Structure 1
Amino acid sequence: MSTPEEWNIAYEGAMKNLQTTTRQVNERIVGIRGGQNRQMFATMHNRNIASLQGIRKQMQNLSASLDKLARGIIQPKEVQLYSSKLEKLRLGLEDTEKRSKMTEAEIIGEGRDQLLSGAKEKVRGETEETRAMTSGELAQTFESRIDQQDQMLDKIHDGLQVEKQKALAIGDELDLQDPLIERVGQKMDHADHRVRAANNRIDVLIKKNKGTCCLYVLIVLLLGVLIAMVISGNFGMGYYAGEKKDTPPAKSF
């Protein structure tokens, strides 16, 4: 369990095993109180003891793995969350172990104190309906309620598994989108660089065009002066030729 995901998977497996074993321990207690086949429950008891030992080993592995994860792999808040999960597993395991170690005499004695009608001390939550029941009927009612609770817990567990899969799918999608977003950012940076380079070239061209415009204006002015000189020269020559033509010849004496 070198990653938080592996730790959570192992934790869920341990909790599932604990729920199953707890249900079997309760079935043994109810069966013994109801006077059912004790030999069958003796075999179940041995199997429950072995299961609880395996769960305790799982809990020890989870605790050791959590110590490793806490050394820089996960944040302190996550360490606190995982520790609370581990504490929940520990309390449930200790309670189930305590109930599994009850002898038949202790189970029957506890059942007599709780279930026999007319007892002076009433069981917490006892109703008029349960007071009128015999020990066997109470045992069956108790077993039925346990089954209902187990079914509800199974539904909750299934719902959590669905939500977990959704969360994992969202995480995978984010992992896929992250490189795309990074490439888009790189392309935007490249485009920005090209735009800046184009702006610089435009600025250079504008500066060059300012000098060229001045040259064009100077050329136009020179052409204008030349044209004016040509026009004025032609007009002067024409005027001189006309004046010479109109002047009468000098008389000879």
Structure 2
Amino acid sequence: MITITNSKIAGFEPRWAPFRGFSLLFDNPGDSVSSMGRDWLKVDCSVDESEDLQLYKGFAEFLNEIGRYRLTNTYLFCPLPPYSYHVTVWDGLNDGNVQDVSADCHLRLKNFLKNLPGSLLTDKEFTNEVRHSPLITSTNRSIRFKFKRLAKWGNEVLVASLMPADQDSERELKRIVEDRKALSAWFRERFGVTMRSSYSPHVTLGYFANEEYAASATPEIDRWTESVKKRVDQLTITFSGISLYGFTDMVTFFKETQRG
């Protein structure tokens, strides 16, 4: 545990490193976006005000209950701000897999990522197939999730795993999984990059800055899971659409403004 000995210091605030890319996200319900300039809507969840985001609010309250000071100083855990909460449908190309694409498009992808968000409007090479995927174009979509459990992945990230809340949502999730496979197969054929095949719907709650400190949190996960369940056991979140989002770090996600 890091002990602060200076009475003028209360704690540490995470500074998020640049990390650029694009993904498909479920469109959050309720009051969940704000304007980011003329062309973009930024993920900006009002978890304290929106009835549709009560599940997110429960996750945020759980972290507050443990104490963000304790999480940071004991586990070097950096909680994400609740306004950035979202559920990813499919991870696209980003700074983490840019080295894996075919040599013939490597430089173009680097430039695309460097020029986000503008390149999302002007350069369709990497996003055109995504925009035409049934994941986006399917209509009358509705899927409802509930909390499953907390999970710590690779001593890097703490997530709230979700599961379908009813049979209709189970069927919809199966369709989403198949559409993900088709899109990933196209990207592998076109760009030579292998996308993650498995899909576990989740909300990322934050990241651990150090693997050793993260490992020390392992014994707490089951207890924390029970604490979250007490808060959110009867809560669900419903999504009715999926959109293409760009991001420039782990708290800044944005989609194109739709104009009539």
Normalised by the shorter chain, which TM-score bucket?
A: under 0.3
Q: Which has the higher strand share?
A: 2
Q: Greater RCO between the two (CA within 8 Å, min separation 6)?
A: 2
Relative to the length of structure 2, the TM-score reads 0.23
Structure of greater Rg: 1
Relative to the length of structure 1, the TM-score reads 0.23
Q: Which has the higher helix share?
A: 1
